[in-house]
Amino acid sequence: MAQLDTSDAREGAPEGGPEGAPGEAGAPRPRWSDRVGRWRRGLWPAGIALALALLVSLHARMPNRIGNVGSLLETFLPWCGLLFPVLAVCAVVRRSATALVALLVPVLVWTNLFGGLLLDKTGDGGELMVVSHNVDADNGDHAGTARQIAESGADVVALQEVPQPQREVYESELREAYPHHAVEGTIGLWSRYPMDDVAPVDTGMGWTRALRGTVRAEHGPVAVYVAHLPSVRVQFRAGFTAEQRDRSAELLGEAIAAEPVDHAVLLGDLNGTMNDRALAPLTSQLRSTQGAAGAGFGFSWPAGFPMARIDQILVRTLEPVSSWTLSATGSDHLPVAARVNF
């Protein structure tokens, strides 16, 4: 009996058969042309995307009772956006239209919260320039740090964490540019303009971590507050230990609320971001210069790879014109600067 020779056909045929059909090696490969499958596949990345959207949009409802987890999330909330490209790759690999559509939800939520920060809102001019810097007690070059600050051209400078042995270094290096200054504890305020009514502000620490002074600027008096709120820590058992900082923020907010001078500015290391609900006593009555007149997030800490803006410049009845971070000094924080109009 004659037999049909099919060897040539076998050699030319693809090993897995037609596209999307199972081959000898295993399961079929998903394809975009499969209209039903592309909506059924990728349910797990779609679920993660929707959960991320809920997390970002409802961050204020995350409870703080256990380990202050809500404040911890809000400190690094912008970094949730790093999950978007990961989920997009998962959706493409799975050829899942469902996952791609679901990913649009957290992207829109994130953009609504932070998209405005990505726009360049800086303007020209400004009637008053202010700088705030946590100089870091362990700074290896305090003299160099002071010189960099003096060269910034600021009218008012607020420094935090000034070690007592290095106080004379800062006074010496800043004296020429800033003839008026006051230091309380580790907090210092330097100004080109005369100052009066300088006094410490109680933040419940038992020692001075904040002060207030009236700067007699060219365009009018400004109540300047300088603060270094208590540090926060992430500990395995205790969680995000921020109770002391939260209480200090409340006391500082009460002092600012009672401030009789119309124009007010708060400069300092607040150990918290503008998203952190714990700073509501301050953010409810003061405006962030970075949010109003900056370009980008303006992260200030840690200096080597900034991940959060915990050094703030907040104003009341002053109009932010520009806001930015200065070049790194010997500190583990970056200096932050802003120009404002009256």
pLDDT tens sequence across 53-89: 999 999 888 877 777 787 888 889 999 999 999 999 9
What does the pLDDT profile of the chain (342 residues) look like in tens digits?
444 444 444 444 444 444 444 444 455 666 655 655 667 778 899 999 999 999 999 988 887 777 778 788 888 999 999 999 999 999 999 889 999 999 999 999 999 999 999 999 999 999 999 999 999 999 999 999 999 999 999 999 999 999 999 999 999 999 999 999 999 999 999 999 999 999 999 999 989 999 999 999 999 999 999 999 998 876 655 456 688 999 999 999 999 999 999 999 999 999 999 999 999 999 999 999 999 999 999 999 999 999 999 999 999 999 999 999 999 999 999 999 999 999
Residue 338 CA to residue 132 CA, distance in Å, equals 9
Same domain, 103 and 176: no
CA count, 13 A, side-chain hemisphere, 65 = 2
CA-based nearest residue to 326, from 129, 120, 124, 188: 129
Last residue of some domain: 67, 85, 118? 118
Query: What pLDDT does 1 receive?
Result: 41
Structure tokens at 52: 């991320």
Distance CA 157, CA 193 (A): 11
256 located within any domain: yes
pLDDT at 4: 42
User: What is the C-alpha separation between 165 and 152, in angstroms, rounded?
Assistant: 24
Secondary structure (DSSP) of 17-81: -STTS-BTTBSPPP-TT-TTHHHHS-HHHHHHHHHHHHHHHTGGGS--TTTTHHHHHHHTGGGGG
- Domain shared by 86 and 135, yes or no: no
Name the nearest CA neighbour of 131 among 148, 155, 115: 155
72, 88, 118 — which closes off a domain? 118
Residues 74 and 160 in one domain: no
The span from the CA of 196 to the CA of 188, in Å, is 14
Task: For residues 87 and 211, state if they share a domain.
Answer: no
Same domain, 96 and 166: no
Residue 127 and residue 218 in contact, taking contact as beta carbons nearer than 8 Å: yes
Helix (H) or strand (E) holding 131: strand 128-134
The predicted structure's pLDDT at residue 236: 52
Q: Within this chain, do residues 106 and 143 fall inside the same structural domain, yes or no?
A: no
Residues 99 and 186 in one domain: no
Strand partners, 239: 235
Query: Rounded to the nearest 10 degrees, how much is the dihedral formed by the CA atoms of 258, 261, 263, 266?
Result: -50
Q: Do 81 and 137 sit in the same domain of this protein?
A: no
Answer yes or no: is 133 within a domain.
yes
- In whole angstroms, what is the distance from residue 96 CA to residue 49 CA? 13
Domain end (from 118, 152, 167)? 118
Identify which of 55, 67, 120, 70 has the alpha carbon closest to the alpha carbon of residue 272: 70
Residue 246 lies in a domain: yes
Cβ atoms within 10 A of the Cβ of 228, count? 26
| pLDDT for 155 | 98
CATH number at residue 278: 3.60.10.10
27 burial (CB, 10 Å; 0-12 / 13-18 / 19+) is: exposed
Q: Which helix (H) or strand (E) holds 102?
A: helix 97-114
Q: Are residues 205 and 323 in the same domain?
A: yes
Pairing relation of β-strands 195-200 and 210-217? antiparallel
Domain count for the chain, please give it.
Answer: 2
| DSSP letter string, 297-326 | ----BSTTS--B--EEEEEES-EEEEEEEP
Which pLDDT score is estimated for 15? 44
In angstroms, the CA 161 to CA 337 distance is 18
Six-digit token string for 58: 């409802």
Domain boundaries, position 48: 29-118
